[in-house]
A and B are shown apart, each in its own frame.
Chain A
Amino acid sequence: MEKFTVFTGTAVPLRRSNVDTDQIIPAVYLKRITKTGFDDALFAAWRNDPEFVLNQDAYKAGQVLIAGPDFGTGSSREHAVWALRDYGFKAVLSSKFADIFRGNSGKQGLVTGVISDADTERLWAAIEANPGIACTIDLPNQTATIGDLTVPFEIDEYTKWRLMEGLDDIGLTLRDEQAITDFEAKREAWRPKTLPAKH
C-alpha cells in the first residue's frame, strides 16, 4: 500500500445521497476471482446513462469523489473499495459514511474524509463552475482544496496514521515479524505440518 500525504487529482461531484455498495458495484461482478480490474464495474448501472457524471469528458479522469451523505451503505463487500480504487479514485469526501465501508477503505489506501453538508455544497458549486478542476487532498493537515476554496475534513487518528504510513492489515502485522519468528522458533515438533505430504 502506497503512503498517502498530499494528493491532487480531478474532482468529481456526485450529487446523490445514500449511494450503497450495490450501486458502487453490482452483485454480478462479485463472481470474479481477482482483487483488481474492477474499474469497469464501478457504478456500472449508472454508467449506462450518458448523462452520468463519469461519462462526461471533464470528469472521466476522476480521482477525488465528492458525494452526498450516507456513502457506502448496504452490503459489506470490499469490492466497493476495490472498484473505486481501480477506477483511479484516491479519496472520497462525504458528510456521512457507512462504518464498514469506511473501515474497508482505510485498509486499502482510500482516504474517506468527512466534510460538512455546507462544504459539500460549496465544493460541488466550485467544481461545476469549472468542470475538470483538480482537488488537493492534504492528509496531514486534513484539508481539501479546490481553487481558492479550502475546507477541513475529519478522519480518525488511527486510520490517518495507517494511510500516511501506507500500512495495510498485513503490513501492520508484519511490524511484529520478529515476534512471529520467535514464536515459530519454539513451536513444538509434534504440531502439524502439511509438507512433506504423507498419505
Chain B
Amino acid sequence: MSNKPLTLAEKVWNDHLVAKGENGAPDLLYIDLHLVHEVTSPQAFDGLRLAGRPVRRPDLTIATEDHNTPTWDIDKPIADVTSRTQINALRENAKEFGIRIHSLGDVDQGIVHVVGPQLGLTMPGITVVCGDSHTSTHGAFGALAMGIGTSEVEHVLATQTLPLKPFKTMAINVEGTLRPGVTAKDIILAVIAKIGTGGGQGYVLEYRGSAIRALSMEARMTICNMSIEAGARAGMVAPDETTFEYLKGRPHAPEGADWDAAVEYWKTLPTDEGAKFDAEVFLDADTLDPFVTWGTNPGQGVSLLGSVPSPDDFSDPNERAAAERALEYMDLKAGTPMRDIRVDTVFLGSCTNSRIEDLRAAAAVIKGQKKADGLRFMVVPGSARVRLQAEAEGLDQVFKEFGAEWRFAGCSMCLGMNPDQLAPGERAASTSNRNFEGRQGKGSRTHLVSPLVAAATAIRGTLSSPADLEQN
C-alpha cells in the first residue's frame, strides 16, 4: 500500500474490496449490513427462489415494515390490497429465508433508516445497503451507505457483495456556529439549493467543518439523509467522540475488547490531512437562516425570511422553466413573503426528522401554545421505540394537548403509499425530504421545513420559525 492520503470514503471502500474489477469492470465490495423493507424486496426473494439460491448471510440482514404501514388502527387488517400483499410477502419471505423481521406492532418496527441506527447496527466504517434511496442516512456514522435497486437487493441477498463503479468525492465544508432556531435541516436544504438536485451526481459527499462537528448524531443523520436529494451516491460524516458516545451501549454495538478494537479502527477513518477531494463546496453556518422550499424539487429552497422567487431570477432557461412550472403547481406568486404562505397541514415525521430529538425540539416550541385554527398537525415517530421514548418523556401529552394527531411509526405522509395523504391542492409544511409533485398525495403541495419551523408553523398557520413567536 502506498501512503497516499485518503478520504474517509476511499478508506471504507478499500477495506471492503473483495475483488478488484479488471478491464473497466466494477469492483466487488463486501456488504456489512443489508436492510430490507416490503416494497423493493418481493421480487428479489422470488428471484432467489427461482434460482434455488439461499440468502448467504441472514445474520447480516434485517427487515422491517414501513412504507405501506398504516399509522392508525395498526391492529386492524391493512385495507389496501397492494400494501397488504407486499407486507404479507415480506413476512413470508423472512420466514422462508430465515431473516429477522420487525413487523407492525413489534417494538423494533419503524422506518428502516431509524431502526438500523437505533439498534446499534449502523456503525462507522461499514458498508450498508437497502433498496431505498435514503439509505444515505447511515453515512452519518462514517459508514458507506447506499440505496440500491431490486435486482441489486437480490444480488446482495445471494452473495453479500455488490459490484460497484468507482465514485468521485466532494467535500461540503460548513464552518461557523448555527444561530438559535437554525438546524441541520436548514444546512442541508441550503446545500441542495446551492449545488442543485444534480450537483452531487457521481459523488460521495463528505460533510465537514466546525458546524458539522458540533451537531448531534441525529442531526448528522438528517443531513446525510438528504444527500440523495443532491443526486449524490452517498453522504458521510467522519466518526468522532459524538459518534462513539451515541453508539455505546446500544443493543448491537460491540462490547468489551471488540468495542476497544472497533474504536481504535474507527479513529483511523477520518480523511487524511492532504487528501484530495474531486470537488469542494463551502457554506457559512454563521449567516444561515431557517430554510424552506417554495417549489417542487428539494433544490428550490430559500431563506424563510425571503420571498417566493420569480422565474426571471434564474438565468438558466431550464431552471427558469422549472420555476414557472413549480409556481403554477404550488399556486404561488413571485414576491410573496415565505412567511405569508398559509398551510393546511403540518407533518412532523419521515426518516429525515422523526427521531426523538426532532420530537423534543418541536414539543418544546408548541408547549403551552395554541394550534392555528383549522390546521391539521400530524406527528409520526420514526419507530415504535421513538414513540415509546416520547411517551416516557410526556411528549405525546404535549402534542395531544396542542391538538396534534399522535400516530404510530412508519413512513406515513412522507409518500402517498399508505392511507396518510394530502388531498388535491392541500398545502403542507413537512419535515420530510421530497416535495415532488404528488409525492404526498395526488395534487399535494409540499414545503420542506425543519421540525422547529414545522412547530412554529402549526401555531401561526403560516410558514414561521420560533423567532416569529417571540415577536407576537
A-side interface residues toward B, CB under 8 Å?
Answer: 1, 31, 33-36, 78, 107, 168-170, 173-174, 176-177, 179-180, 183-184, 187-195, 197-199
B258–A189 touching, CB < 8 Å: yes
Cβ of B419 under 8 Å from chain A: no
Distance in angstroms between the alpha carbons of A168 and B254 in the assembled complex: 37
Least CB separation from B85: chain A residue: A33
B86–A189 touching, CB < 8 Å: no
Known contacts A36-B50, A168-B51, A195-B59; 6 additional CB pairs below 8 A are: A180-B28, A180-B30, A184-B160, A189-B261, A190-B261, A195-B100
B46–A33 touching, CB < 8 Å: yes
Contact residues in B for A190 (Cβ distance below 8 Å):
123, 254, 258-259, 261-262, 265
A191–B19 touching, CB < 8 Å: no
Contact residues in B for A35 (Cβ distance below 8 Å):
43, 46-47, 50
Max chain B C-beta neighbours (<10 A), residue from A33, A176, A180, A187: A33
Which of A170, A174, A188, A193 touches B60 (beta carbons < 8 Å)?
A193
Distance in angstroms between the alpha carbons of A194 and B94 in the assembled complex: 13
Distance in angstroms between the alpha carbons of A198 and B61 in the assembled complex: 14
Given the known interface contacts A179-B18, A192-B33, A192-B123, the answer about A173 and B50 at a Cβ–Cβ threshold of 8 Å is: no
B-side interface residues toward A, CB under 8 Å?
Answer: 18-19, 28, 30, 32-33, 42-43, 46-47, 50-51, 53, 58-62, 82, 85-86, 89, 100, 107-108, 119-123, 126, 150-151, 154-155, 158-161, 163, 251-252, 254, 258-259, 261-262, 265
Total inter-chain residue pairs, C-beta < 8 Å: 105
Contact residues in A for B19 (Cβ distance below 8 Å):
176, 179
Max chain B C-beta neighbours (<10 A), residue from A183, A191, A195, A198: A191
Contact residues in A for B150 (Cβ distance below 8 Å):
78
Given the known interface contacts A180-B18, A183-B30, the answer about A197 and B100 at a Cβ–Cβ threshold of 8 Å is: yes
B89–A33 touching, CB < 8 Å: yes
B121–A170 touching, CB < 8 Å: no
B154–A198 touching, CB < 8 Å: no
Least CB separation from B62: chain A residue: A194
B351 CB → nearest A CB, Å: 19
B46–A183 touching, CB < 8 Å: no
